[in-house]
Amino acid sequence: MMGEPWIWIAGGVVLGGLIAALVWAALRHPRRISVESARKLFHLQRERLEYRFLVLASQTGKPRGLEWVDCDFEDDVSLARDRHTGRLRAYVGVTIRFRAVEGGGMEDNPNVDDLKAGSAEFRLDGSEWGTDGRVVFNLNPVEAIQYYRELEMVE
């Protein structure tokens, strides 16, 4: 009879360890969301995402000597999956308008007024799309995905 409490305690420790391992595995490898669901989420969150992108991108100080004035987003969204992590990214074509920052050394550059093309990058984290304001200049969304070798197109 004296050994019984120790058996229950040992069983509880083993069971607790198993539960902790399962929780850790679930957090480390989240369930993949379907591409269709990811597209729907992006559409639902798009207005917020575009605003957040512009705010963050304009705070990067890139390109140096230029200030972000406006960013027009194309309608189409290209999705890609990271080959290593399985996480989804979205790329949207953008046309950006800059102006020279006073004293930034670009005031006399005649190309400042030219519109710049690129692709805005967004990342899916669970069920929330987010952005860090990263833009891939001079590449459309398909070219941007091909540029990053760790990505593969998804449809």
Q: Do 44 and 26 share a structural domain?
A: no
pLDDT at 2: 53
Same domain, 74 and 15: no
Say yes or no: 58 and 26 in one domain: no
Rg (CA), the chain: 23
Residues 46 and 13 placed together within one structural domain of the fold: no
Residues 40 and 81 in one domain: yes
What are the structure tokens assigned to 22, written together? 């399962």
Same domain, 23 and 39: no
Please, which residues have CB within 8 angstroms of residue 53's CB and are 6 or more apart in sequence?
71, 120, 122, 131, 133
Among candidates 42, 41, 43, 124, which has minimal Cα distance to 81?
124
Average pLDDT of each block of 10 consecutive residues along the chain (155 residues)? 67 74 59 86 97 95 87 97 94 95 80 90 95 96 96 91
Q: Does one domain contain both 60 and 113?
A: yes
Do 79 and 150 lie in a common domain?
yes
Give the per-residue pLDDT at 31: 56
Cα(12)–Cα(148) distance, integer angstroms = 47
Which helix (H) or strand (E) segment holds residue 60: the answer is none
77 and 119 belong to one structural domain: yes
Residue 70: per-residue pLDDT: 93
Domain hosting 109: range is: 33-154
Q: Are residues 38 and 4 in the same domain?
A: no
Same domain, 80 and 6: no
93 touches 121 (CB < 8 A): no
Shared-domain flag, residues 122 and 47: yes
For the entire predicted model, the pTM comes to: 0.76
How far is residue 31 from each of residues 36, 42, 59, 78, measured CA to CA in Å?
15, 18, 33, 21
Per-residue model confidence (pLDDT) at position 103: 82
pLDDT at 137: 96
pLDDT of amino acid 14? 76
Which of 138, 133, 99, 102 lies closest to 117 in space, CA to CA? Answer: 138
Total number of domains in the chain: 2
